[in-house]
Structure 1
Amino acid sequence: MSPHVTLREVIDSDLPDFFRHTSDLESNRMAAFTSKDPTDRASFDAHWARIRASDAVIRTVLADDVVVGHAAVYGPPEEREVTYFIDRAYWGRGIATAALRALLAVVPERPLFAHAAADNAGSVRVLEKCGFTATGTDRGFANARGAEIDELVLTLTG
């Protein structure tokens, strides 16, 4: 049975959960494009202070009222991008797809972009289920892998 997924505004008490989620080494390896040191709490806190003060639309993802991740739209108007991070313990349950669909309903502007490690089939599938299509490729340095890797650029136009 799939959990009930909802989004809400980020509150201070969500941050320890986010830190735990984003400190997981396997999650970081899969996401690839992460902070240089995901276990650096001071850097994490500074990052979240910046994004919470920005014009990013960021939401806490809840599954059956448990904080399981976050999802956001950020960047300049002509380059708005989506991102999400779900606790690895909750992967494979449709939570990322449900959360991204809910976020897209809150942010009607288009186009929106996404970048995903080319070998991150789960994330690419989430984006495709939500209407994104692959529109390009790129290479970038992936902190979590310590190397340049291929990435897909995906776009949502409608």
Structure 2
Amino acid sequence: MDIALRPVHGSDLPVFFRHMSDPESLHLAAFTAEDPHDRDAFDAHWKRNLASDAVHRTILAEGDVVGHVAVYGDPGEREVTYWIDRYFWGRGIATAALRGLLAEVRERPLHARVALDNAGSRRVLEKCGFRETGRDSGYANARGAQTEEAVLVLDA
């Protein structure tokens, strides 16, 4: 499958909103917006994201928008994040997209967090060289409960 990254276009946002409103995806991601169905909050969030120094990329598979990947945050504490349309899970797209972003953003260390029961996402991070450095717990909006997460880092 041909995977490509490109800058986020405004026309990608409705697709991202649909991806990020999927109940199964929300549960696995766990740490999501307070109300993932609030389109105004979603649009405001993306307006801030795209105006920041974060690196956001749209993920294309065979030319179709299937998700997004980003590096964001303060220097020395920057994190990676990604979201793939559930229909495309298990096809190596997240791994390919994250590898592509890591080749573009050479800054290290980079950090990541993943709910402990999200084995697929954790595997993506590990395939890309991230290693667990600790555990944390926080309130997960998508689950309405405290949720444990792994804290990972990608060193130089």
TM-score grouping bracket, smaller chain normalisation: over 0.9
Matches within 5 A, 1:53-72: 53-72=51-70
RMSD: 0.5
2: distance between equivalents of 1:141 and 1:99?
28
1: distance between equivalents of 2:113 and 2:93?
19
The answer on 1:44 being equivalent to 2:42 is yes
1:25 to 17, 23, 26: 23
- Give the deviation of 1:141 after TM superposition: 0.6
Q: Give SS of 2:99's match.
A: helix
Deviations 1:112-155 (A, max 9, x none): 00000011000000000000000110001100000001100000
2: distance between equivalents of 1:64 and 1:37?
31
Q: Which amino acid aligns with 2:92?
A: G
* TM-score, scaled to structure 2: 0.99
- Give the deviation of 1:77 after TM superposition: 0.2
The answer on 1:122 being equivalent to 2:120 is yes
Q: Percent of pairs identical after alignment? A: 67
Q: Which amino acid aligns with 1:105?
A: A
Q: Give SS of 2:53's match.
A: coil
2: distance between equivalents of 1:149 and 1:40?
23
2: distance between equivalents of 1:140 and 1:63?
33
Stretches of structure 2 that go unaligned for 5 or more consecutive residues are none
- Give the deviation of 1:78 after TM superposition: 1.4
Matches within 5 A, 1:1-158: 3-158=1-156
- Give the deviation of 1:67 after TM superposition: 0.1
Q: Which amino acid aligns with 1:96?
A: A
2: distance between equivalents of 1:100 and 1:46?
25
* TM-score, scaled to structure 1: 0.98
Paired positions, count = 156
Structure 1 runs of 4+ with >3 Å offset: none
Q: Which amino acid aligns with 2:136?
A: D
Q: Give SS of 1:37's match.
A: coil
Stretches of structure 1 that go unaligned for 5 or more consecutive residues are none
